[in-house]
Amino acid sequence: MKIHIKNGRLIDPKHGLDTHADLYIAAGKIAAIGNAPKDFHANRVIDASHCIVCPGLVDLAARLREPGFEYKATLESEMDAACAGGITSLACPPDTDPPLDEPGLVEMLKFRAQNLNQARVYPIGALTQKLEGARLTEMAELRDAGCVGFSQADAPITDTQVLVRALEYAATFGFTVWLRPQDAYLAKGGVAHDGFVATRLGLPAIPTSAETVALATILLLARETGARVHLCRLSAAESLAMVRTAKAEGLNVSCDVGINHVHLSEMDIGYFDTNHHLVPPLRSLRDRDAIRAALADGTVDALCSDHTPVDEDGKQMPFGESEPGATGLELLLPLTLKWARENDIPLSQALARITHQPAHILGLDAGHLAIGHAADICVFDPEATWIVASSVLKSQGKNTPFLGYEMQGKVTATLVEGHVVFEAGENGQGRK
């Protein structure tokens, strides 16, 4: 199909493109920008008046809940949510059931995702067998099966010797190791930030040192082994300062933060609102402001949804016993735009954090608009407003701290390889 996207404002952060121009798509690729190719006759015209046309979003952390947790969400529901959120490429952590520690499981997940013909799925393989932190997986075989990196998800490695061996092996083959720094003993049993809110509510606390102690170990071992490390979901001001220093020294590290931590703090827990039970926990206002500043100055490479759909029973429990996590695929774009507006960040710079920069971390040639490249595109209205409600979210998980909030910025169309996989209807609901 040949598609003509007209009257839109094209923004491509990677190539410094920000102009009003038409986009022409043929055979799943971008055929031209600006002027139509010779003898181009569109089968479909998309009017992007008053809209931004940008690369499809790239999300570094989206739990699709398959295999093993289909009662929380299905691949179909979460892929629908991704497309409704303008996301065309996403990485899924290995904490499925069973974990993604064998090539057959990875191949099955990729096969299922490809058959849906929606967003592209890039599995992150398990770093250790069953995520138990004891024996390394066959990383080379997992890479051949389609894994783009290796992680423990939220299961820390307590045996430092195992971590050293993992980093040495990864360095030998050029793999990226994804680690969320958290000391298992300092964080043991905790559910909230170690501050006055946790004290007032009587909740078991997780100090920032649980993150910084683990991060110090990771950075020292990364320097020693030469491994490429991606640091996931940092949450503390001190951690960001450590990463800033490590980058200045030339260490081969990158990092991301979850979109919820850009806007929320421990104060938002209120009276035991389990939708605010997240991993890592929402921290102090100082930490939140440090995250915003680190996003602006480039210390933080990417924003991610940290999408974690949880079934209703998992949230309707006392805070400390509830299951942590929040749905986020459909909120990644509007919450990124919200950060940009509140901090006077240029739109192109904000979009870079959710397009080509996460694509670079994944090692993908994605997240940009270039002639001859795959037409993975997000079209959104930056002024359109909508209310976050369970009935509106396509994800099977309705658990988000932003229920009832008004969002500004709404996806009107999503294309993957030139196919329209989502289009907003007249009533604001999506259709394929």
Active site residues: 306
Backbone angles phi, psi at 168, to 5 degrees: -65, -45
Q: Which residue, chain included where needed, has tokens 């694509």?
A: 359
Cross-strand pairs, 33? 23
The Cα–Cα gap between 273 and 179 comes to 28
The Cα–Cα gap between 406 and 334 comes to 10
The Cα–Cα gap between 109 and 89 comes to 14
- C-beta separation of 219 from 158 below 8 A: no
- C-beta separation of 366 from 121 below 8 A: no
The Cα–Cα gap between 231 and 92 comes to 15
- C-beta separation of 355 from 58 below 8 A: yes
**And the tokens for 342?**
């509140």
User: Is cis: bond before 103, omega within 30 of 0?
Assistant: no
Calculate the alpha carbon distances from 393 to 82, 174, 405 in Å.
Answer: 11, 39, 13
**And the tokens for 431?**
């259709």
Residues making up the chain, counted from first to last: 432
